[in-house]
Amino acid sequence: MKTDKLTILPPGRPLCGRVDPPGSKSITNRALLLAGLARGTSRLTGALKSDDTRYMADALRAMGVTVDEPDATTFVVTGSGELKAPAEPLFLGNAGTATRFLTAALALGSGRYVVDGDEHMRKRPIKPLVEALKSLGVAIEAPTGCPPVTIDAKGAFTRNKVVIDAGLSSQYVSALQMAAACGAEPFEIELAGADIGARGYIDLTLAAMRAFGAKVSQPTPASWRIEPTGYTATDFHIEPDASAATYLWGAQVLTGGAIDISTPAGEFTQPDARAYDVISAFPHMPAVIDGSQMQDAIPTIAVLAAFNETPVRFVGIANLRVKECDRIRALSTGLNNIRTGLAVEEGDDLIVHSDPALTGQSLPAEIDTFADHRIAMSFALAGLKIRDITILDPGCVAKTYPGYWDALGSLGVQFKQD
């Protein structure tokens, strides 16, 4: 999408048709890494091709892994069982999964690796993971607590147990889990603190690891034991992206349409699929919604909440402040830009003071997306019901859903490009 601004023209009718969401970003980047760590050739089908997965694929290529792309949804990955130190720093854009996952995996490599990203990624915390790797004897530095991260890897951890605080990101745990199978002895990971923000992502990690031959047990609800199996190349099919599905579910309920995405909500293994029930309750969504186990769906649901019959308070969403942007602030800013008072932050809660009468009005608003794909895709839904909603930097959706605007267009949504 080569334009700075995109205004959505409300269709004025139900959106009906079929749209196949792209492959899961979370699962694709797990499968790419595990295939890159395995010895042999793996065929990944149903894969997402987007900025985030391209960064991961290019990083693997820079470390000696062959990554072929025979079609728009397939990666064929041939690894040697190791990731060779690259000549240049690895640039990973704002791909949190690629950045966190590779940081841990490279700690067991050999030589110097620099993991870096764009200006936004350089503001996203990685210190807990860096400190955990330091406790394992890894020579690793991240002076700002965010990328760039420099690793002087010597091929092994000096201890076989780590305690990790995953309060800011479950990706720290997933990263250690995936790396641990490449170690020389059984490894134990224990969560510091009570629970983890997004347990569903840990489940994705364990499922992907096991598909590539890892052996993982769970002695307690907050600890895992990983055997030193390494990874075995395999063919692996990736399910559609549940977070991407939420925008289509949202467009369906907002317009009273029928959008077939081929995959029933109950067949997704990703945590955001649980948003389906809440979205389906629209316009009678509950007064309090806990976002801790469906974090990436909260922008979608928060915009829907503006049109709900009753106000909605979002709780359990503190770590939305350290995603691609401060999403609580971005949502509050965008909703109040549409109409003052539509949203308010209370600590790390977000309250949306819904008003069904918004529908059909012209409320000219230029929505700052803060380079965040989910802010862009979510506020596009407001444009289905309110006239003169303009999305700034619409191309930022390429992070995980490059075909988003075409998908809405295929359902009959029209746009004005400035």
Ligand X SMILES: O=C(O)C1=C[C@@H](OP(=O)(O)O)[C@@H](O)[C@H](O)C1
Ligand Y SMILES: C=C(OP(=O)(O)O)C(=O)O
* Residue 349 annotated in active site: no
Question: Which of 177/252 has CB closer to ligand X?
Answer: 177
Contact 369, 396 (CB under 8 A): yes
Restricted to residues 167-186, the positions that interact with ligand X (CB under 6 A) are 169-171, 174
Q: Per rule CB under 6 A, is residue 97 in the interface with ligand Y?
A: yes
313 is in an annotated binding site: no
C-alpha dist (Å) from residue 2 to 235, 405, 410 = 35, 12, 18
**Rule CB under 6 A: is residue 323 a binding residue for ligand Y?**
yes
Q: Whose CB is nearest to ligand Y? A: 96
Q: In the set 296, 368, 372, 393, which binds ligand X (CB under 6 A)?
A: 296
Select from ligand Y, ligand X, none the partner in contact with residue 177, using the beta carbon and a kind-dependent cut-off of 5 to 8 Å: none
Of the candidate residues 96, 183, 311, 402, the single one contacting ligand X (CB under 6 A): 96
Does residue 272 belong to the site contacting ligand Y (CB under 6 A)? no
Among residue numbers 18 through 47, which ones bind ligand X (CB under 6 A)? 26
Choose the contact partner of 300 out of ligand X, ligand Y, none; CB within 5 to 8 A by kind. none
Residue 201 interface partner, choices ligand Y, ligand X, none, CB cut-off 5-8 Å depending on type: ligand X
Q: Which of 30, 54, 374, 385 contacts ligand Y by CB under 6 A?
A: 374
- Comparing CB distances to ligand Y, the nearer of 15 and 164 is 164
Q: Which of 52, 272, 296, 393 is catalytic?
A: 296
Contact at 8 Å (CB) between 301 and 285? yes
Whose Cβ is closer to ligand X: residue 7's or residue 205's? 205
Angle at 243 between CA 241 and CA 247, to 5 degrees: 110
Q: What are the backbone angles phi and psi of residue 194, rounded to the nearest 5°?
A: -70, -80
Q: Which amino acid is at 185?
A: E
Stretch that binds ligand X, among 55-63, 150-158, 166-174, 354-362 (CB under 6 A): 166-174
Per CB under 6 A, the list member of 239, 272, 296, 368 interacting with ligand Y is: 296
Q: Which of 295, 337, 354, 378 binds ligand X (CB under 6 A)?
A: 295
Answer positive or negative: Cα dihedral of 368, 373, 375, 378: positive
95 binds, among ligand X, ligand Y, none (CB under 5 to 8 A by kind): ligand Y
Question: What six digits make up the tokens of 207?
Answer: 């499922």
Q: In angstroms, rounded to a whole number, what is the distance separating the alpha carbons of residues 59 and 48?
A: 16
Residue 319 binds ligand X, judged by CB under 6 A: yes
Q: Catalytic residues, which ones?
A: 296
Q: What residues are designated binding site for 3-phosphoshikimate?
A: 25-26, 30, 169-171, 296, 319, 323
**Annotated binding-site members for phosphoenolpyruvate:** 25, 96, 124, 171, 327, 374, 399
